[in-house]
Chains A and B, each alone.
Chain A
């Protein structure tokens, strides 16, 4: 296993490039999630790295080895896990996992990997006899079997039910860590990227808008676009000066100067005895927590995320205060 480095990568389909100067670095054994809306170039990035799409300019390094455009997919040592698995329908589970292995080591390594993904004893099954989650595990085992330098995962959970997705995410992360694999995952799902990866790169319009640890991306986004993309937000226009900004929720501590946008996460809005008076419009219960839709006296609508027992109902009057500093993004002139 080795790290993956991408430098000033440009690629496209004639006309305007889809990827404009992408820089990425995945340390050995690390799991990087590339997060972006559909059409931002995620799939093109994967195809370029795997060798299915030509590079216009830039460099791709796998450890000490440079992968030029001339290196065909079969000599790259990069495994792929496509959307919905794409298992070979004419081969059994064992045949799929052993597809990239030499005959001599095949049987033992297939056993080892099926064990790793928790499917020992499934070797003789055909892909049509597997559930969606099992198919994804087999696809992962197949990609890991030849010990690739990097594994690329293309929205591997998008076709699964919500409950299964959660469980499989944890399993896949554990499998990748147990195998010591370097992995790159592309997804449009913020929760998936932030919850699963060691590092997150936000890809926007073919360039990396921000690369960092999930907590950093969430709590100190590089700009308003990233902030809005990685989580729910409450925003107000405002003017910041000397470390404070005035908002309908009072004067809040912040950094930055001048005219711009104030951004709070819903969990920063706390219902309690103190604060600004407001009316509850509605309560959206999510199970593990709830969102309370509030209307302030001046008519501004805000939302608060509340853990535990929900003590309010639509029509109640409550006070709302803000916990922690507000993010502030100055207007670009």
Chain B
């Protein structure tokens, strides 16, 4: 079901013959768009790898003062939607547009994709391996490059490729920074011309690029670092202590300080330019649409997730693969696919809330399946066996054992989907019913016309919404420390 709209997108692309497809692909503009997107992805990924690995080492292995606080603060930018980041930067530095602006904003919001897995790998890597290397006569620096770096390589690569995927499918930052990358090209082409076939074809190309990256990520994963029983010791920073601390503070200021300061500034400076009633109404819309989307997603995810948790084999591998593919599906392409699909087969649903909810379900199904699977895994079958041997039938066992154990994980997952729906921009922009604006689309529209003060309250609400899952995420990871 999730694949249907995409399949239709492919059909739609080839409807007018391979010649048209070839024409669109052969245009210099297509090559330009691809080149722009790829060069941005490469630059951002490289910067994120440097920032992420350094940050991870500082919070996981060094004696950086306040490293626990930094462990939280350095991860938080993950929660800032790229278009909120884009808004806050462009509203304080209007000159920062194009490649440079997109590069700065995307790097600052996506480096935690590298930091998180690398920090986890550094924390769980078996310190005994490093100790053996020391005892065999290597210095601590040599050990870092010959042993530690090897242990975290899969995590860093996986994180780096996630960053690349994020950049490829990002619409918010590049559109606000007016950097014509692939996603913005698709949107412009869709809006500007009557002939929408080129948009469909470009959407497909983007999916192909993203899938290629995903496969590359799976290949590059390699051996996962061996899990140790002890926590690794911390390394003294010595003379590097002050620069390391200063660097961390600057990073936090850039990633969190700038957005917050800019929001506060605009909120204070521009109180007269926005109506509270509008913000409340938009927030209400967002909640309604997201709740519908989250419930629909859960409905699809429950059977798949339960199957995946309880049975091994091909299906599970399929679900895992779909989970990775989920990162690769750009919102703009899914939105576009549903636009075409809706116009052709379900005109009554086109630009309605159910259609938008369905788009959310397609986009966030992997996220929900993962949550359901984790939840159900908390209720292993052996507990059901025990309950039945104690005289309770299938239904009572489900009610008394499986549901209470699985519910927290499933609910947390649904909440996460809800919050993710609330932040979604490109698909919402294409599919929202006329007159129904969400926080994300309001922010985007107002920033487009440089009405920064009017946009600020939406950005503030979004930032709060977005911070919730990041804080929860850190709570979960906190358990491993």
A interface residues with partner B (beta carbon < 8 Å): 50-52, 72-76, 78-80, 82, 86, 88-90, 99-100, 142-143, 145-146, 148
Q: Is there a chain A Cβ closer than 8 Å to B391's Cβ? A: yes
Q: Give the distance in Å from the alpha carbon of A65 to the alpha carbon of B38 in the complex.
A: 73
Residues of A within 8 A of B389 (CB): 50-51, 73-74, 76, 78-80, 100, 143, 148
Q: Give the distance in Å from the alpha carbon of A296 to the alpha carbon of B385 in the complex.
A: 55
**Of A52, A82, A89, A99, which contacts B390 at CB under 8 A?**
A99
Please give me the 6 A-B residue pairs with the lowest Cβ-Cβ distance, nearest first: A100-B390, A73-B388, A86-B382, A80-B389, A74-B388, A74-B391
Residues of B within 8 A of A142 (CB): 386, 390
**How many positions in chain B have a CB within 8 Å of any CB in the partner chain?**
18
Mind listing 22 A-B residue pairs with CB under 8 Å?
A51-B389, A52-B385, A52-B388, A72-B388, A72-B394, A73-B388, A74-B388, A80-B386, A80-B389, A82-B382, A86-B382, A86-B383, A88-B387, A88-B405, A90-B405, A99-B387, A99-B390, A99-B392, A143-B389, A143-B390, A146-B391, A148-B389
Residues of A within 8 A of B382 (CB): 82, 86
Q: Is there a chain A Cβ closer than 8 Å to B95's Cβ? A: no
Q: Is the CB of A82 within 8 A of B385?
A: yes
Q: Give the distance in Å from the alpha carbon of A86 to the alpha carbon of B387 in the complex.
A: 10
Q: Is the CB of B380 within 8 A of A74?
A: no
A124 to chain B, nearest CB (A): 18
Q: Is there a chain A Cβ closer than 8 Å to B245's Cβ? A: no
Q: Is the CB of B393 within 8 A of A74?
A: yes
Q: Is there a chain A Cβ closer than 8 Å to B401's Cβ? A: yes
Smallest CB gap from B408: residue in A:
A90
Q: Is there a chain A Cβ closer than 8 Å to B236's Cβ? A: no
Residues of B within 8 A of A143 (CB): 389-390
Q: Give the distance in Å from the alpha carbon of A75 to the alpha carbon of B392 in the complex.
A: 8
**Of B386, B391, B392, which is in contact with the most chain A CB atoms at under 10 Å from its CB?**
B386
| Contact string against A for B residues 390-422, beta-carbon threshold 8 Å, 1 for contact and 0 otherwise | 111110000011001100000000000000000
Residues of B within 8 A of A148 (CB): 389
**Of B383, B388, B393, which contacts A88 at CB under 8 A?**
B383
Q: Give the distance in Å from the alpha carbon of A73 to the alpha carbon of B389 in the complex.
A: 5
B interface residues with partner A (beta carbon < 8 Å): 378, 380, 382-383, 385-394, 400-401, 404-405
Residues of B within 8 A of A76 (CB): 389
Smallest CB gap from B404: residue in A:
A90
Q: Is the CB of B385 within 8 A of A50?
A: yes
Q: A90-B404, A90-B405 are in contact. Are A146 and B383 (CB under 8 A)?
A: no
Smallest CB gap from B389: residue in A:
A80
A52-B388, A74-B389 known; 4 other A-B pairs, CB under 8 Å?
A: A82-B382, A86-B383, A88-B386, A88-B401
Q: Give the distance in Å from the alpha carbon of A128 to the alpha carbon of B228 in the complex.
A: 22
Smallest CB gap from B385: residue in A:
A52
Q: A72-B393, A74-B392 are in contact. Are A89 and B405 (CB under 8 A)?
A: yes
Smallest CB gap from B407: residue in A:
A90
Q: Give the distance in Å from the alpha carbon of A268 to the alpha carbon of B303 in the complex.
A: 63
A53 to chain B, nearest CB (A): 10
Residues of B within 8 A of A100 (CB): 389-392
Residues of A within 8 A of B391 (CB): 74-75, 100, 146
Q: Give the distance in Å from the alpha carbon of A100 to the alpha carbon of B392 in the complex.
A: 7
Residues of A within 8 A of B388 (CB): 51-52, 72-74
A304 to chain B, nearest CB (A): 38
Q: Give the distance in Å from the alpha carbon of A79 to the alpha carbon of B386 in the complex.
A: 8
Q: Is the CB of A82 within 8 A of B405?
A: no
Q: Is the CB of B385 within 8 A of A80?
A: yes
B310 to chain A, nearest CB (A): 14
**Of B386, B393, B401, which contacts A82 at CB under 8 A?**
B386
Q: Give the distance in Å from the alpha carbon of A100 to the alpha carbon of B400 in the complex.
A: 11
Q: Give the distance in Å from the alpha carbon of A79 to the alpha carbon of B383 in the complex.
A: 13
A93 to chain B, nearest CB (A): 15
A158 to chain B, nearest CB (A): 14
Smallest CB gap from B380: residue in A:
A86
Q: Give the distance in Å from the alpha carbon of A79 to the alpha carbon of B393 in the complex.
A: 14
Q: Give the distance in Å from the alpha carbon of A51 to the alpha carbon of B390 in the complex.
A: 12
Residues of B within 8 A of A72 (CB): 388, 393-394
Residues of A within 8 A of B386 (CB): 80, 82, 86, 88, 142
Q: Give the distance in Å from the alpha carbon of A80 to the alpha carbon of B383 in the complex.
A: 11
Q: Give the distance in Å from the alpha carbon of A72 to the alpha carbon of B390 in the complex.
A: 11
A110 to chain B, nearest CB (A): 13
Residues of B within 8 A of A90 (CB): 404-405
Q: Give the distance in Å from the alpha carbon of A86 to the alpha carbon of B383 in the complex.
A: 6
**Of A78, A82, A142, which is in contact with the most chain B CB atoms at under 10 Å from its CB?**
A82
A42 to chain B, nearest CB (A): 15
Q: Give the distance in Å from the alpha carbon of A248 to the alpha carbon of B45 in the complex.
A: 74
Smallest CB gap from A77: residue in B:
B391
**Of B388, B392, B394, which is in contact with the most chain A CB atoms at under 10 Å from its CB?**
B388
Q: Give the distance in Å from the alpha carbon of A124 to the alpha carbon of B66 in the complex.
A: 38
Residues of A within 8 A of B390 (CB): 74, 79, 99-100, 142-143, 145-146
**Of B382, B387, B400, which is in contact with the most chain A CB atoms at under 10 Å from its CB?**
B382
Q: Give the distance in Å from the alpha carbon of A75 to the alpha carbon of B394 in the complex.
A: 12
Residues of A within 8 A of B404 (CB): 90
Q: Give the distance in Å from the alpha carbon of A78 to the alpha carbon of B385 in the complex.
A: 11
A43 to chain B, nearest CB (A): 11
Q: Give the distance in Å from the alpha carbon of A119 to the alpha carbon of B386 in the complex.
A: 21
Q: Give the distance in Å from the alpha carbon of A74 to the alpha carbon of B380 in the complex.
A: 18
Residues of A within 8 A of B400 (CB): 99
Residues of A within 8 A of B393 (CB): 72, 74
Residues of B within 8 A of A74 (CB): 388-393
Q: Give the distance in Å from the alpha carbon of A142 to the alpha carbon of B404 in the complex.
A: 19
Smallest CB gap from A152: residue in B:
B389
A87 to chain B, nearest CB (A): 8
**Of B385, B392, B400, B405, which is in contact with the most chain A CB atoms at under 10 Å from its CB?**
B385
Smallest CB gap from A102: residue in B:
B391
Q: Give the distance in Å from the alpha carbon of A142 to the alpha carbon of B380 in the complex.
A: 18
Q: Give the distance in Å from the alpha carbon of A52 to the alpha carbon of B391 in the complex.
A: 13
Residues of B within 8 A of A52 (CB): 385, 388
Residues of B within 8 A of A51 (CB): 388-389
Residues of A within 8 A of B383 (CB): 86, 88
Q: Give the distance in Å from the alpha carbon of A77 to the alpha carbon of B390 in the complex.
A: 8
Q: Give the distance in Å from the alpha carbon of A148 to the alpha carbon of B386 in the complex.
A: 13
